[in-house]
Amino acid sequence: MAKVIVLMATLDTKGREIAYMREIVERRGHSAVVIDTGLMGEPTTPADYSNSDVALAGGSSLSMLRDRANREESAPAMAAGATVIMKDLVAARKVHALVALGGTQGTTLATAVMRELPYGFPKIMVSTMASGNVGPWVGVSDITMMFSVTDIMGLNPFMRRILANAASAACGMTEVEVDEHRPTPLVAITTVGITTQGAMRAARVLEDAGYETIVFHAVGTGGQAMEAMMEQGLIKAVLDYSTIEVSNHMHHALLDGGPRRLTVAGRLGLPQVLCPGALEVLVFNEPETVPKCYEGRRLVRHSPKITDLRLNADEMVAVGEEVASRLKTAGGEAVFLIPTGGYDSYATKGEALYDPAADAAFVAALKENAPLSVKIVERPQDINDPGFASEAAETLIGLIRAKAA
């Protein structure tokens, strides 16, 4: 079946390139819809949605934006307009993929649009900026970044190949049929390396019970992506096995999950079981990157580039209070299951980060401040113990079934 590929760029500077990509799409038996996000110049190829249409959809007018000629104001307005157009087209199922071209400005605008589109909808950004850190443009979205190598300015044998690759990739993505039907809720699980054994065991228990699982590496972006998927309705229950992203946010460490972490599942009323996986650990790069305020702390070299640091009792009290505060959004029943034998493989008896007194301080603060909707349960095992992991999964299964009853 023929699909519709959206091609987006500033047509005053990249009109020839877009026209060529339209040819490639049509040769493959599909059709293209072109959106012009240019501002100042005249388009060099026709658009299905003109820059005037885009400006109007963004709540402005092209003449007004041109008169001001201020990129700081005009770029967000054009991005907002393109987002409105794309979201409407996607919601109506009139389009099936988006490919955009851009340098610094074009990439910033197009990826702002892409980040607002659903997970799974194909998004390809052909960019001069794709060889470095693409985090600012991708965020936690499933954007495919394609490095253009040269500036996107004119057609030549090399650029035609790059553009043909991008257009064909988008066509290929739309041609693949994937069965997304799920008879049971999709269950999210969070983990980091030092809680992996427990998380793997929990996943097996859930899968044996007929549930599909989706596992997130709790490195900051992992938790954020998980919660974004919850908001899009893709995830219906969560085993938040590794909540390290909260303490790392509090202390500005590497695995920072942001201020919303632990608030979304509760706000949506999703069944959730939480565990303090690696919550006592702050993650930094090499030892010399550890802030001076932590001098003298116990450290573990997790890898040549990663150093783990243990929080003390006072800091764990603050973490307990913060976790409890975030869980006050919980609209349904939640269970916080605590393994008093250690929150990860570095924090069990005999290991470098073992500190049961600090862990107990966290538990006391959590109990004192948590909402009544959160049931707190302690178990003597460590977090990677098969029995503990199995209980965590089985507890979540019980909550899922109770909600469905």
- Asked if pLDDT for residue 71 goes beyond 70, the answer is no
Three-class SS of 114-133: HCCCCCCCCEEEEECCCCCC
pLDDT of residue 85: 98
Domain spanning 4-175, CATH architecture: 3-Layer(aba) Sandwich (3.40)
Instruction: Report in angstroms the alpha-carbon separations of 242 from 258, 292, 353.
Output: 15, 26, 16
What is the phi/psi pair of residue 162, to 5°?
Answer: -60, -45
pTM of the model: 0.89
Q: Which residues contact 195 (CB under 8 A, 6 or more apart)?
A: 241, 242, 277, 278, 343, 344, 345, 383, 384
Mean pLDDT for the stretch of residues 130-157: 94
pLDDT of residue 65: 86
Q: Which of 323, 386, 377, 343 is nearest to 241 (CA)?
A: 343
Q: What is the pLDDT of residues 299-356, one digit of tens each?
A: 999 999 999 999 999 999 999 999 999 999 877 779 999 999 999 999 999 999 999 9
The 10 Å Cβ neighbour count of residue 267 is 15
Mean pLDDT for the stretch of residues 164-170: 98
Cβ pair 340, 367 in contact under 8 A: no
pLDDT of residue 70: 66
Q: What is the pLDDT of residues 100-128, one digit of tens each?
A: 999 999 999 999 999 999 999 999 999 99
Q: Which of 251, 286, 243, 254 is nearest to 374 (CA)?
A: 243
What's 187-404's CATH class? alpha beta
pLDDT of residue 132: 87
Q: What is the pLDDT of residues 351-378, one digit of tens each?
A: 999 999 999 999 999 999 999 999 999 9
Q: How far apart are CA 116 and CA 100, in angstroms?
A: 14
The distance from CA 21 to its chain's CA centroid, rounded to whole angstroms, is 29
Q: Which residues contact 5 (CB under 8 A, 6 or more apart)?
A: 25, 30, 31, 32, 33, 95, 96, 97, 98, 99, 167, 170, 171, 174
Mean pLDDT for the stretch of residues 195-221: 97
Q: What is the pLDDT of residues 229-285, one digit of tens each?
A: 999 999 999 999 999 999 999 999 999 999 999 999 999 999 999 999 999 999 999
Q: How far apart are CA 224 and CA 221, in angstroms?
A: 5
At 270 the three-state DSSP class reads coil
First to last CA, the chain: 40
Instruction: Report in angstroms the alpha-carbon separations of 238 from 187, 196, 230, 382.
Output: 5, 16, 9, 20
Cβ pair 176, 34 in contact under 8 A: no
- Asked if pLDDT for residue 392 goes beyond 90, the answer is yes
DSSP secondary-structure letter at 4?
E
Q: How far apart are CA 169 and CA 163, in angstroms?
A: 10
Domain boundaries, the chain: 4-175, 187-404
- Among the residue ranges 62-76, 85-99, 133-147, 362-376, the one predicted with the least confidence is 62-76
- Asked if pLDDT for residue 40 goes beyond 80, the answer is yes
Same fold for the domain at 4-175 and the one at 187-404?
yes
Q: Which two tokens stand for residue 204?
A: 């097996």
Q: How far apart are CA 277 and CA 405, in angstroms?
A: 30
DSSP secondary-structure letter at 143?
P
